[in-house]
Amino acid sequence: MTLETVRRALRSPVRNVLVEAAGGCGKTYEASELAADLGRDLPEGSEVLLLAHTNAAVQEFTRRTRGAGARVRSTTIDAFCLDLLSPYAQRLALATPLRRWVGIGAGRIPFADLAPQAVNLLTRCPAVGTMLAYRYPLVILDEHQDASVSEHAVVASFRNLGLCRIRIFGDPMQAIYEAQPGQTVAWDQLMREAGQVVSLDMPQRWEAQPELGDWIMDARSELRAGRCLPLAQAPGCVRVANVAGLGCVGFGHGKQGLRRRFELSPDQAQGERQQYCLDTTIMYGVCTLRAPEVIS
């Protein structure tokens, strides 16, 4: 899909656009440019809301949009929920002042509890959601494949009460957490809810080595289809190193799902159950592909 097609969709009047953005294909750049472009024309009192999962991502988006003359608020979903809940903490039977009681430790309110409480507030008081929808006419959700059901529901609670547009960026192949029905938002659900689904699938990070970028995209497609990495077609900059004891990592697909069969000669195979377990850091631009020893 061309960049022009994706950019038109992002700036269109469609209420909910889902962008599947493979690693290294310009997700952060496009999200930042979108926030800066549309944030310049907003009236006083309105902002583009950019919600991320980590402080590092917030800092990066802030750096990229600073100086653009745009009204953009970048924050984590936890911080957004905390700010939303604080004025209503007493009415919601939460400890006050709320900020002092949120964190890790006995007797404290876990960060994971903030989104469900925010959904509770927005459900009980739709007027708050309507206010949010008008204050934030554009909401950008970063790495949304890692959102919990409650975190997704926070934005959905005020998306439907006003005229705000939602732009969701994510990649199910980069999910940090194991898929847990009822706890993590399902990618299929996001696709069903979207008014338009587009893809950022043109490598941008490897301009100096376009053959590497093309191969990484091909490798991603093979892994997603449940097949092994196409090592025979790998460019010369990709090296395979055996690393003993390297364990499986889920990346949202389950540990078993990342075990890919290799085509081994009979003397190498030593039985049908032997497989390689791959470290998928290759998908994020690392030239060295790490694989552990053969395991049974």
- Write out pLDDT tens, residues 178-228: 656 678 899 999 999 999 999 998 988 888 889 999 999 998 898 888 888
Length of the chain: 296
Residue 205 falls inside a structural domain = no
- Indicate if 169 and 64 belong to the same structural domain: yes
Asked if the structure places residue 39 within a domain, the reply is: yes
Residue 209 and residue 24 in contact, taking contact as beta carbons nearer than 8 Å? no
- DSSP strands (E only) in the chain: 16-21, 48-52, 72-76, 138-141, 165-170, 196-200, 239-242, 259-260, 276-277, 288-291
223 and 185 fall within a common domain: no
Shared domain for 63 and 153, answered yes or no, is: yes
Torsion angle of alpha carbons 141, 146, 148, 152, nearest 10°?
Answer: 20
Judge if 20 and 163 occupy the same domain: yes
> Which pLDDT belongs to residue 288?
41
Instruction: State the pLDDT at residue 183.
Output: 83
**Domain stops at, among 170, 200, 230:** 200
Domain that holds residue 62: 3-200
Which pairs with CB-CB distance under 8 Å and at least 24 residues apart come from 249-252? 249/279, 249/280, 250/175, 250/177, 250/178, 251/173, 251/174, 251/175, 251/176, 251/280, 252/145, 252/172, 252/173, 252/174, 252/175, 252/176, 252/177, 252/178, 252/179, 252/184
Does position 24 have pLDDT exceeding 70, yes or no? yes
pTM of the predicted model, to two decimals?
0.79
Structure tokens at 276: 């390689």
Give the span between the Cα atoms of 293 and 166, in whole angstroms: 45
Cis peptide before 110 (omega within 30 of 0): no
Question: Is residue 85 located within the same domain as residue 57?
Answer: yes
In a shared domain, residues 45 and 182: yes
Q: Give per-residue pLDDT as tens, 130-172.
A: 999 999 999 999 999 999 999 999 988 877 776 799 999 999 9
Rounded Cα gap, residues 58 and 52, in angstroms: 6
**Residue 36 falls inside a structural domain:** yes
- pLDDT at position 236 is 86
Q: pLDDT grade, residue 247 (50/70/90)?
A: low
Task: Domain count for the chain, please give it.
Answer: 2
More confident call, 267 vs 261: 267
Looking at residue 175, what is its pLDDT? 83
Q: Where residue 245 falls among pLDDT bands split at 50, 70, 90? A: low
Higher pLDDT: 189 or 1? It is 189
Contact yes or no for 254/172 (Cβ under 8 A): no
- Calpha distance 59→52 (Å, rounded): 10
Residue 47's pLDDT band (cuts 50, 70, 90): very high
Nearest CA to 162 out of 189, 142, 192, 138 is that of 138
